[in-house]
C-alpha cells in the first residue's frame, strides 16, 4: 500500500490483486466432498481462520444469494460471502470479503470433478482486490492449503475433525 499526502488531500491507496489457485486430490467421491464443503464446514474450518472471538457456528445457505456466515456466542455475525453460483455436487462460487478487511473484496470458487479413481479433483481459486501486499497473498495461500489440502481432505478421507472446537494445537495458539 502506498500513500502520498499533500496539504488538503486524501491519501492515495494502491489496490492490488491477489490470485490464489490450487488443486487437491481427495480420496472420496465428489458427492462426499460437496457435502463436506456445504453442510459440514464446522468439521474442518476453524481457528485461526475465524473472525469472531467465540465462534459457535459456520454455515452456508446453499442457494444463489445465500450467505456464508460465521456466528459468535454473543450474537456477532460475520458475512464471509454471498453464493454467486452453484451447481449441486460440482461447483460453488462465493463473492465477498472472505475475512479480508474493507475495502477489499473478491470471490472464491470450488470446482469438483471425479478424478477417475473414485476420488475427487478439487480445483480452487480465490481472487481479491484490496490494499494488501504479497504477504497477505502468501498467508491466504498457506491458509487455503491447510483448510483444503489438510483439514478438508482429512475429514473426507478419515473422518478426522480439525474444525471448530477440534483445531490442531498450533491453530488454537494462533487464534
DSSP assignment of the chain? ------TT-PPP---EEEEEEEEEEESS-HHHHHHHHHT-HHHH--TTS--STTEEEEEE--STT-EEEEEETTS-EEEEEEEEEEETTTEEEEEE-TTPPTT-EEEEEEEEEE-SSSSEEEEEEEEEEES--HHHHHHHHHHHIIIIIIIIHHHHHH----STT---HHHHHH-
Instruction: Tell me, yes or no, if the pTM score tops 0.85.
Output: yes
| Higher local confidence (pLDDT), 7 or 18 | 18
Per residue in 97-152, pLDDT tens? Answer: 888 777 888 999 999 999 999 999 999 999 999 887 788 888 889 999 999 999 99
Q: How confident is the model at residue 8, as a pLDDT?
A: 66
- Is residue 155 predicted with pLDDT exceeding 90? yes
In the numeric block, which cell numbers belong to residue 142? 498457506
Taking the C-alpha atoms of residue 149 and residue 153, their distance in angstroms, rounded to an integer, is 6
Per residue in 25-80, pLDDT tens? Answer: 999 999 999 999 999 999 999 999 999 989 999 999 999 999 999 999 999 999 99
CATH architecture of 20-164: 2-Layer Sandwich (3.30)
Amino acid at each position: 500500500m502506498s500513500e502520498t499526502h499533500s496539504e488538503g488531500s486524501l491519501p492515495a491507496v494502491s489496490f492490488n490483486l491477489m490470485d490464489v489457485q490450487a488443486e487437491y486430490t481427495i480420496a472420496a467421491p465428489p458427492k462426499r466432498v460437496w457435502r463436506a464443503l456445504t453442510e459440514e464446514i464446522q468439521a474442518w474450518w476453524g481457528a485461526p481462520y475465524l473472525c469472531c472471538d467465540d465462534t459457535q457456528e459456520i454455515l452456508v445457505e446453499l442457494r444463489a444469494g445465500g450467505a456464508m456466515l460465521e456466528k459468535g456466542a454473543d450474537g456477532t455475525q460475520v458475512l464471509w460471502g454471498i453464493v454467486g453460483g452453484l451447481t449441486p455436487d460440482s461447483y460453488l462460487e462465493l463473492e465477498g470479503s472472505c475475512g479480508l478487511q474493507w475495502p477489499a473484496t473478491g470471490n472464491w470458487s470450488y470446482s469438483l470433478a471425479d478424478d477417475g479413481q473414485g476420488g475427487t479433483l478439487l480445483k480452487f481459486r480465490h481472487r481479491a482486490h484490496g490494499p494488501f501486499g504479497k504477504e497477505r497473498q502468501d498467508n491466504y495461500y498457506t491458509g487455503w492449503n491447510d483448510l483444503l489440502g489438510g483439514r478438508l481432505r482429512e475429514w473426507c478421507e478419515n473422518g478426522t475433525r480439525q474444525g471448530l472446537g477440534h483445531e490442531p494445537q498450533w491453530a488454537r495458539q494462533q487464534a
